[in-house]
Amino acid sequence: MIGRSLIISIYRTLTALLEPAAAGLLLWRQRRGKEDPARIAERRGYPGVDRPEKTLVWLHGASVGETVTLLPLVERLQRRGLAVLVTSGTVTSARLLEQRLPAGAIHQYLPLDVPRYMRRFLDYWRPDLGLLCESEIWPNLMIEAGKRGIPLVQVNARMSERSFQRWYRFPKTSRYLLSGFERCLAQSQEDGQRLAQLGAPRVSIAGNLKFDVPAPPADPNTLALLDGLMAGRPVWVAASTHPGEEEDVLAAHLGVKAHLPKLLTIVAPRHPDRGDEVAALAQANGAVSARRSLGQLPEREVEFYVADTLGDLGLFYRLAPVAFIGGSLAPIGGHNPIEPAKLGCALLHGPLVHKSADLFAAFDAGGGARQVADRQELAGAVHRWLSDPAAARQAARAAAQTSAQLGGALERTVQALEPLLMRVALGQRETAP
């Protein structure tokens, strides 16, 4: 790594001095249900399981979207006989990985970015290679990995225009942190240019790994049951919604219901523990609701079905011809549209998709997605597609085609990693040429 900036030095000092506050933060998060009490020690760098005695590749993704993106790469690494450790930072991602992580792969929570926590974590796990997904750049992690000669690669790397402008104000800091990567494998040409301008080394364009992630699974018996219950009804799903968006979805539902009385709206909040809140909202506005987490089913009288369980979106994307992608009417940046595109949904999204602007633009341009500005436009778009199934199917085919055309990132990523994988297999850790 190049010379450390003053900002990084201050950050490192403060995170060391504030270690007691970090422990208090974990306890506060635990009380709020944001940490797993049985595994909270992992957030301080203590291991939860034994380290395998062979070459270990460590992959990290922040939350659900990033960790799911890494699953095909995990499988490829295991095929080579490598041990795989996957870390993440949220309870929901840990629960999802319990269901979808291949047998033999290990999950741990990433420690908070406190110097002693990171030292403890890295000294125990001794990864031979680290792959950090998208924009996960933590100063103490980078520094401690560099001290131990652990090569790091940024995979599925992205750098939005908004983030670029923030980083650009601190060129020495950005150059220092990004120089800790041996390679940066960017999602798009625009991402690659921004990362290179900020100082990232050996930038190449691999594409977006999300296009190569298999569609989320669905239990066939449950699928058949729900399909039977929903038969003959117009159905749409609002996926990964946030506070404020459920109000928009409910307003759209009530507007469309005036024209389609049998309408069933499925709402899957981004955080399933908000299910009671979403159901209460529906009831307060006179909409009959049911909650999947309570074992309730979308019976004929139910019009607002709250899918407040984890890992079930594969079910609902298969059942609904139209999907609204949450985090796009709320200022979140937009969630993953690729999964519903692969499963036959026509896509709707709001304007706030800055985290994946290029991705949404591709679906829009291909005819598989439409942008809506607000709840009124959302209601109009849902009504049009549910009233014209042929048009919805055409849009769904276009979305699937866009998804297929933009695949191939997995192969390009594995190819780019090949020299490093060969090197770590031989037990070498020298800096790449």
Question: Which residues make Cβ contacts (< 8 Å) with residue 197, sequence separation at least 6?
Answer: 164, 168
Class of CATH domain 6-207+408-425 = alpha beta
The rounded distance, in Å, linking the Cα atoms of 182 and 251 is 49
Which residue among the candidates 35, 42, 66, 245 is catalytic per the annotation? 66
The rounded distance, in Å, linking the Cα atoms of 278 and 379 is 18
CA distances from 324 to 57, 246, 269 (A): 36, 11, 12
Query: If residue 268 lies in a helix (H) or strand (E), which one and from where to where?
Result: strand 264-269
Q: Residue 427: what pLDDT?
A: 73
Q: Which CATH number fits domain 220-405: 3.40.50.2000, 3.40.50.620, 3.40.710.10, 3.40.50.10440?
A: 3.40.50.2000
**Would you say 26 and 35 are in contact if contact means Cβ atoms under 8 Å apart?**
yes
Residue 361 has a CB neighbour count (10 Å cut-off) of 13
Partner residues linked to 305 by β-bridges: 266, 290
Question: Which residues make Cβ contacts (< 8 Å) with residue 111, sequence separation at least 6?
Answer: 42, 43, 44, 45, 117, 118, 120, 121
The rounded distance, in Å, linking the Cα atoms of 87 and 385 is 40
What is the rounded (10 degree) CA torsion for 298, 242, 158, 186?
Answer: 0
Ordered by start, the domain boundaries in the chain are 6-207+408-425, 220-405
Question: Which residues make Cβ contacts (< 8 Å) with residue 186, sequence separation at least 6?
Answer: 157, 158, 159, 192, 195, 203, 204, 205, 206
Structure tokens belonging to residue 198: 């900020």
Q: What is the pTM of this model?
A: 0.84
Per residue of the chain (433 residues), what is the pLDDT tens digit? 556 778 999 999 999 999 999 999 999 999 998 999 999 999 999 999 999 999 999 999 999 889 999 999 999 999 999 999 999 999 999 999 998 999 999 999 999 999 999 999 999 999 999 999 998 899 999 999 999 999 999 999 999 888 999 999 999 999 999 999 999 999 999 999 999 999 999 999 999 999 999 899 999 999 999 999 999 999 999 999 999 999 999 999 999 999 999 999 999 999 999 999 999 999 999 999 999 999 999 999 999 999 999 989 999 999 999 999 999 999 999 999 999 999 999 999 999 999 888 899 999 999 999 999 999 999 999 999 999 999 999 999 999 999 999 999 999 999 999 999 999 888 755 544 3
Q: Residue 2: what pLDDT?
A: 59
Q: Residue 425: what pLDDT?
A: 80
Residue 202 has a CB neighbour count (10 Å cut-off) of 14
Active site residue 66: yes
Q: Residue 5: what pLDDT?
A: 79
**Would you say 186 and 204 are in contact if contact means Cβ atoms under 8 Å apart?**
yes
Q: What amino acid occupies position 19?
A: E
Question: Which residues make Cβ contacts (< 8 Å) with residue 38, sequence separation at least 6?
Answer: none
